[in-house]
Chain A
Amino acid sequence: MAKCGLSIELQQVDPALQGGDKVRGHVRVDADADVRCRSITVYAGWRTRGKGNVAQELGPKVELFSGDLAAGQSMRFPFEVDAMRWPPSYNGYQFSVEHFIETTADIPWAFDPKVSTPIHVLPGETRETDFPQPIVLGKFPQVAVASVFSVMGMVTMFMMLGPNPIVLAIAPVGIMLVIFGLLLTFKWLPKMYVGQVTYELKPQRLCPGESLSGSFSIRPNRTIKPEYIRLRITATETCISGSGSNAKTHRHELFQRDIMLADHPELAGDKTIRYEINTRLPPVAAYSIKLTSNELQWLTELRVGIPGLVDWKDRRALTVVPPSDLGAAAKLGSALDAAKYGDAAGADVPMDGYDLDASPGAPGGDAAITFDETVGHIWSIHDQPDQVEVLVDAVAGLPMNISARIERRFLGGGSDDPEINPDEHLVWAQYASPPLLMSLYVPQSMGDDFDRAHSAIWRGQGEIVGWNRRDGRLQIRVYA
Chain B
Amino acid sequence: MIPTTIGLGRQFTNAIRDRALPRSIGSLLMTEKSWLPFSHWNLRYNPFGELTPSERAAVAVFDVRPIVQQLAQKQTAVQFIGPCGRGKTTRLLALQRHLAIPSTATIYLPPLSWAVPRWWYKTLQVVGAPIIIDEAQRMPLPVRKMIFRRRVPLVLGTHRDLTGPLRRAGYQVFTYAVGPQNDARHVAAVANARLSAARLTPAEVPQLSIEDAQRLVARFGDDLREIESFLYHQVQQQVGCNGQMRFVD
For residue A346, CB closer than 8 A to chain B, the reply is: no
- Enumerate chain A residues within 8 angstroms of B46, measured Cβ to Cβ: 49-50, 96
A331/B14 in contact, CB under 8 A: yes
**Contact-size category for A:** 35 or more
Which residues from 379 to 422 on chain A have a C-beta closer than 8 Å to any C-beta of chain B? 379-381, 384, 386-387, 390-391, 393-395
B33/A381 in contact, CB under 8 A: no
For residue B49, CB closer than 8 A to chain A, the reply is: yes
Counting chain A CB atoms within 10 Å of each CB, the highest count among B35, B51, B111 belongs to B35
B44/A368 in contact, CB under 8 A: no
Point out the residue from A12, A53, A241, A373 that lies within 8 Å of B12, measured CB to CB: A373
A244-B112, A368-B15 known; A380 and B7 CB under 8 Å?
yes
Q: How many pairs of A and B residues are in contact by the CB < 8 Å rule? A: 119
For residue A89, CB closer than 8 A to chain B, the reply is: yes
B10/A333 in contact, CB under 8 A: yes
For residue A377, CB closer than 8 A to chain B, the reply is: yes
For residue A157, CB closer than 8 A to chain B, the reply is: no
A241-B50, A243-B110 known; A384 and B5 CB under 8 Å?
yes
A390/B25 in contact, CB under 8 A: yes
- Enumerate chain A residues within 8 angstroms of B120, measured Cβ to Cβ: none
- Enumerate chain A residues within 8 angstroms of B35, measured Cβ to Cβ: 89, 91, 120
What 0/1 pattern do residues 44 to 61 of A give for CB contact below 8 A with B?
000101111110100000
- Enumerate chain B residues within 8 angstroms of A331, measured Cβ to Cβ: 14, 18
A49/B11 in contact, CB under 8 A: no
What does DSSP make chain B's interface, helix, strand, loop or mixed? loop
For residue A347, CB closer than 8 A to chain B, the reply is: no
- Enumerate chain A residues within 8 angstroms of B49, measured Cβ to Cβ: 49-51, 95
A381/B11 in contact, CB under 8 A: no
Counting chain B CB atoms within 10 Å of each CB, the highest count among A95, A369, A384 belongs to A369
Residues of B in contact, count (CB < 8 Å): 48
Which residues from 87 to 135 on chain A have a C-beta closer than 8 Å to any C-beta of chain B? 89, 91, 93, 95-96, 98, 111, 118, 120
For residue A246, CB closer than 8 A to chain B, the reply is: yes
Which residues from 70 to 122 on chain B have a C-beta closer than 8 Å to any C-beta of chain A? 84, 100, 110-112
A: which residues have CB within 8 A of B? 10, 12-13, 15, 47, 49-54, 56, 89, 91, 93, 95-96, 98, 111, 118, 120, 241, 243-246, 330-331, 333-334, 336-337, 357, 359, 365-366, 368-369, 373-374, 376-377, 379-381, 384, 386-387, 390-391, 393-395, 434
Q: Lowest 3 A-B CB distances belong to which pairs?
A: A244-B111, A15-B30, A376-B242
Q: A13-B31, A15-B17, A387-B3 are in contact. List 10 more A-B contacts (CB 8 A).
A: A50-B45, A51-B229, A54-B51, A93-B236, A98-B45, A120-B35, A331-B18, A334-B11, A369-B16, A434-B243
